[in-house]
Amino acid sequence: MPGIYIHVPFCKQKCHYCNFYSVASFKYRDAFVPALLREIKLRNDYLSGKNINTVYFGGGTPSLLKTEEINTILNALNGTFNINNNAEITLEANPDDLSEDYLRQLRQETTVNRLSIGVQSFFDDDLEYLNRVHSGKEAQHAVERAQAAGFSNITIDLIYGIPTLTGEKWRKNLELFFAFDLPHLSSYALTVEPRTSLDVLIKKGKLAGVKEEPAVDHFNILLNETAARGFVHYEISNFAKKGCYSKHNSIYWLGGHYLGLGPSAHSFNGTSRQWNVSNLKQYTGADMVEKIVEEKELLSEKDRYNEYVMTSLRTTWGCDAEHIKNIFGETVKNRFETGIQPFIDRGEVINKNGTYILSGKGKLFADGIAAALFWD
Ligand code: SF4
């Protein structure tokens, strides 16, 4: 079932590693919600009457929105689309925004029913390296306050592979996560994206570089510890207790349709992908879809196959040879099976009756394995 993504492009300060579209300026803050409401009206037919199962406020920092603004946006969505009564409604939040008052209002006055809290680490030196705006203690208290306010469907983000993060600290971060008894964890390796502050600062020798070896150790610790606590590793960076998978992100991983609203947001309707301008001035001034959407691409058979292999291999549901045959034909299926055999021989992929999933070892090379199977 389709979902709606809303991109809220404001942050109090930029984290060094960040390559999402967000600005640490509030110049267009007041113009943002009216522009979003305009876009909701303009895009009312994108999901053509389908029932919407998820709404996801991502960013940027959506917890910078006032609860009244969240309600204004949700009311506009409800008035325009068929949003299910029991839809998963997620708000990404930074720990420093989650005061007792804000959480109470979110819980009691909005229909937000899932929080994704950007913790990243519970240690201050890691957070300083990343240039996060909050401290480790603040992160801990934010999760506690969210639970006290009545939120149970909470996920946190933790980053590993940070040069200041030792194996011991990483285990401690995971212990703290388990102590909260939360249903979901998203955990990513720190990557140095080109042209980010992190990239520049490392090149200038002002910050320590990111090494692969500790990240691999951390990843193995993560796999062992989450498995020991009964978490399902259902996507390469995501772990959940049974039945607590992110419904919204599963749409992306399972090839579902979604509408992205807000600057830089992407949309997909099964045949084409399009994305909005990554520019707040342009976005807030736009009065036509043509001015909001920066680019639209029709997906070729090859694109759709590559995307299916890339996303499905990263999930616990795996890559289904029969599905490849049904959608792309016997020749493509045969080529896929020939291409994946060396990875099976090396113990990186497991064939479960025609469904191919990554082994623990293969999870370390997910992107490389998928790339080797691409249809060029
Ligand atoms: S809070 Fe998130 S979106 Fe904002 S700068 Fe940090 S990583 Fe980027």
14 lines ligand 1 (CB under 6 A): yes
22 lines ligand 1 (CB under 6 A): yes
Give bridge partners of residue 259 from the DSSP assignment: 4
Q: What is the pLDDT of residues 135-191, one digit of tens each?
A: 999 999 999 999 999 999 999 999 999 999 999 999 999 999 999 999 999 999 999
Q: Which residue from 22, 64, 157 has its CB within 8 A of the most atoms of ligand 1, so it is best to mutate? A: 22
Across the range 270-276, mean pLDDT stands at 93
**Length, in residues, of the chain:** 376
What is the set of domains in the chain, with CATH numbers?
A: 3-253 (3.20.20.70), 301-372 (1.10.10)
Across the range 307-333, mean pLDDT stands at 95
Instruction: Compute the Cα dihedral for 171, 176, 177, 178 and give only its sign.
Output: positive
Give CA separation, 372 vs 162, 300, 347, 349, 376, in Å: 28, 19, 16, 13, 10
Residue with CA closest to ligand 1 atom 3: 60
Q: What is the pLDDT of residues 113-147, one digit of tens each?
A: 999 999 999 999 999 999 999 999 999 999 999 99
Residue with CA closest to ligand 1 atom 6: 15
Contact call for residues 161 and 190 (beta carbons, < 8 A): yes
pLDDT of 376 higher than 90: no
Please give the helix or strand (H or E) that residue 224 lies within, else none. Answer: helix 212-228
Across the range 326-347, mean pLDDT stands at 96
Please give the helix or strand (H or E) that residue 186 lies within, else none. Answer: strand 184-189
Q: Which amino acid is present at 79?
A: G
> What stretches of 15-132 adopt beta strand conformation (E)?
51-59, 82-93, 114-120
Which ranges in 81-166 belong to alpha helices (H)? 100-109, 124-130, 136-148
C-alpha closest to that of 121 among 154, 182, 169? 169
pLDDT, mean over the chain: 96
Show Cβ contacts of residue 337 under 8 Å, excluding neighbours closer than 6 positions: 321
Residue with CA closest to ligand 1 atom 2: 60
Q: Is 5 helix (H, G, I), strand (E, B) or coil?
A: strand
Q: How far is the CA of 14 from the centre of ligand 1 (A)?
A: 6
Q: What is the pLDDT of residue 49?
A: 84
Q: pTM to 2 decimals?
A: 0.96
Half-sphere exposure of residue 153: CA atoms within 13 angstroms, side-chain side: 17
